[in-house]
C-alpha cells in the first residue's frame, strides 16, 4: 500500500491513541484507560451490548442459514429477490427502521413492546438482526458455495438423512468458519451501534461512548481505541478460523 494510503488510515488512529495517553501533563499514561475500566457503566454497557450481540448472532444464524440453504437448493429462482432484500439495510438508514419500530410497537399499539425493558431488548435484537443481515447472509452464502452444499446434501440424503439432520450434522459444521466470520462482523457492528440503541433508550455500549464523549475529553479517545481493538480482534479471529478450516487446508495441499 502506498505511503499516502497508509498515512490516511494510520495517522488519525495514531493521533487518537496519542491523545488517549495524554491525560497527564507531565507525560504519557494509561489513566484514561484506567478510568474507563473502573467506570461501572463501561462494564455494564459493554456486557449488555455483548449479550445483545450474542443474541443477534444466534437469531441471525437461525434465520439466515435455513433461508440461504433453501434458496440455494430448492428455490434458486428466488435468489435475486432475497439478495435485494438482504441489501436493503445498507440502503435504508437505521433511523428509519427504528422509527418504524417505535410507531408499530409503541405503548399504545397492539404490540406494546417498547413499554417494557424486555420488549425493547427484543426490538433491539430484531433491529440488529436486520442491520447485520447483509454481512451474515453474504458470509453464509459464500460458505455454502465453497462446500458444494447441494452435492453434500444429496450424498447425505441418499444415505438416509432427513433435512434437519443434514443441516445440523453436515452443513453447519462445514460452514462454521463462515458463520463465525458473519458472527464477528455482527459483533463488531453491534458493539459500536448508536442510533437504534439510543432511540430505544437501551443501556448499550454505543450510547455509553456518546455520553462519555459529551462529558469528557481523553476517555472517549481511549474508548475509540478500545473499539478498534475489539474490531481487530474480531477480524483476527475470522482469519484464524479461516486458516484452520478443512476446506482451506484441502486447497493448500
Partner 1 sequence: MNLIDPAVRAGVTLHLSQITKRFGRHEVVSDLDLEVRKGEFISVLGPSGCGKTTALRMIAGFEHPTTGRILIDGRDVSRLRPDQRNLGMVFQSYALFPNMSVAANVGFGLKIAAMADRNIQRRVAEMLELVGLTGLERRFPYELSGGQQQRVALARALATKPAMLLLDEPLSALDAKIRLSLREQIRDVQTELGITTLFVTHDQEEALSMSDRVAVMNSGRVEQFGTPLEIYNRPTTRFVASFVGTLSILKARLLDPARGVVEVATATFKNLEIPRGVARGGHLSLAVRPEAIRFGVYKGDVILRGKVIGVGFYGSVIRVRLIVGNETITIDTFNTPLSSPPLRGEDVDISIDPKSVFVMRAE
Q: Which residues bind partner 1 (CB under 8 A)?
A: 147-148, 151-152, 154-162, 165, 170, 173-174, 246-247, 249-250, 253
What does each C-alpha distance from 65 to 115, 155, 187 come to in angstroms? 32, 19, 17
Of residues 47 and 173, the one with the C-beta less far from partner 1: 173
What does each C-alpha distance from 224 to 15, 29, 132, 166 come to in angstroms? 12, 16, 21, 43
Grid cell listed for 194 = 448508536
Q: How far is the CB of 244 from partner 1 (least distance, A)?
A: 11
Separation CA 68–CA 24 (nearest Å): 53
Q: How far is the CB of 139 from partner 1 (least distance, A)?
A: 18
Q: How far is the CB of 228 from partner 1 (least distance, A)?
A: 34
Q: How far is the CB of 72 from partner 1 (least distance, A)?
A: 15
Of residues 41 and 154, the one with the C-beta less far from partner 1: 154
Separation CA 32–CA 21 (nearest Å): 7
Element (H, E) at 161: none
Closest CA to 170 of 239, 73, 76, 80: 73
Q: How far is the CB of 40 from partner 1 (least distance, A)?
A: 43
Separation CA 140–CA 122 (nearest Å): 24
Q: How far is the CB of 249 from partner 1 (least distance, A)?
A: 5
Q: How far is the CB of 70 from partner 1 (least distance, A)?
A: 16
Q: Calculate the CA dihedral of residues 96, 234, 83, 198 and round it to 10 degrees.
A: -10
190, 132 in Cβ contact below 8 A?
yes
Of residues 17 and 172, the one with the C-beta less far from partner 1: 172
Of residues 112 and 246, the one with the C-beta less far from partner 1: 246
Of residues 41 and 148, the one with the C-beta less far from partner 1: 148
Separation CA 174–CA 168 (nearest Å): 10
Of residues 1 and 159, the one with the C-beta less far from partner 1: 159
Of residues 77 and 118, the one with the C-beta less far from partner 1: 77
85, 158 in Cβ contact below 8 A?
no
Amino acid at each position: 500500500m502506498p505511503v499516502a494510503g497508509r498515512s490516511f488510515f494510520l495517522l488519525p488512529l495514531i493521533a487518537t491513541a496519542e491523545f488517549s495517553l495524554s491525560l497527564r501533563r507531565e507525560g504519557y499514561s494509561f489513566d484514561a484507560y484506567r478510568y474507563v475500566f473502573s467506570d461501572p457503566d463501561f462494564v455494564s454497557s459493554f456486557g449488555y451490548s455483548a449479550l445483545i450481540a450474542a443474541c443477534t448472532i444466534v437469531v441471525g444464524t437461525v434465520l439466515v442459514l435455513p433461508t440461504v440453504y433453501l434458496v440455494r437448493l430448492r428455490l434458486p429462482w428466488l435468489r435475486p429477490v432475497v439478495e435485494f432484500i438482504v441489501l436493503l439495510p445498507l440502503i435504508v438508514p437505521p433511523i428509519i427502521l427504528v422509527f418504524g419500530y417505535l410507531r408499530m410497537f409503541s405503548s399504545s399499539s397492539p404490540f406494546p413492546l417498547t413499554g417494557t425493558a424486555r420488549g425493547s431488548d427484543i426490538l433491539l435484537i430484531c433491529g440488529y438482526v436486520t442491520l447485520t443481515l447483509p454481512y451474515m447472509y453474504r458470509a453464509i452464502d459464500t460458505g455454502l458455495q465453497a462446500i458444494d452444499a447441494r452435492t453434500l446434501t444429496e450424498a447425505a440424503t441418499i444415505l438416509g438423512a432427513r433435512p434437519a439432520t443434514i443441516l445440523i450434522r453436515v452443513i453447519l459444521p462445514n460452514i462454521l468458519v463462515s458463520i463465525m466470520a458473519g458472527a464477528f462482523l455482527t459483533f463488531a457492528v453491534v458493539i459500536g451501534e448508536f442510533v437504534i440503541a439510543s432511540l430505544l433508550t437501551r443501556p448499550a455500549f454505543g450510547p455509553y461512548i456518546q455520553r462519555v464523549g459529551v462529558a469528557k475529553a481523553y476517555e472517549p479517545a481511549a474508548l475509540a481505541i478500545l473499539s478498534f481493538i475489539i474490531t481487530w480482534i474480531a477480524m483476527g479471529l475470522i482469519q484464524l478460523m479461516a486458516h484452520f478450516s478443512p476446506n482451506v487446508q484441502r486447497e493448500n495441499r
